[in-house]
Amino acid sequence: MLINLKNIILFGYHGCLSEEKKLGQKYELDVQLKIKNDVDLKFDDISKTVDYIIVYNLVKEIFQKKSYNLIETAAMVLSDTLLERLDIVEEVTIRIRKPHAPIEGHFSEIEVEITRIKNNE
């Protein structure tokens, strides 16, 4: 089963340029959670799955707590934290879009994507 939170819009101060760190900008994030196959949903009980509010608040807290030079690093930290804190999640994909990257040229956005899988050792 997959759970997707799409196009979360958050303000952050990420980037390698001093202007990005000083002024900040809007980012768009997608979070995809792959849930373990043995999750029993027949009782219609939220404690048996992932609470979307918890996921959203965790993503927001992590993304806005620190300034990253690379959105790639922010995506890795987000995915690793979600895997660590959500027991029934076995895989996380994070996409971060930077619609207003300071690049001279015409493009709609810069996007990074990372997928991390829980290590079950």
Q: What is the CA radius of gyration of the chain?
A: 16
The topology under which CATH files domain 10-117 is: GTP Cyclohydrolase I, domain 2 (3.30.1130)
Report which of 91, 87, 80 is spatially closest to residue 48, judged by C-alpha positions. 87
Rounded alpha-carbon distances, angstroms, from residue 105 to 23, 27, 93, 115: 20, 19, 28, 29
pTM: 0.89
Q: Report the Cα 69 to chain-centroid distance in Å.
A: 16
Could you read off the pLDDT tens digit of each residue along the chain, which spans 121 residues?
A: 999 999 999 999 999 888 888 999 999 999 999 998 877 777 788 877 899 999 999 999 999 999 999 999 999 999 999 999 999 999 999 999 998 887 888 888 889 999 999 986 5
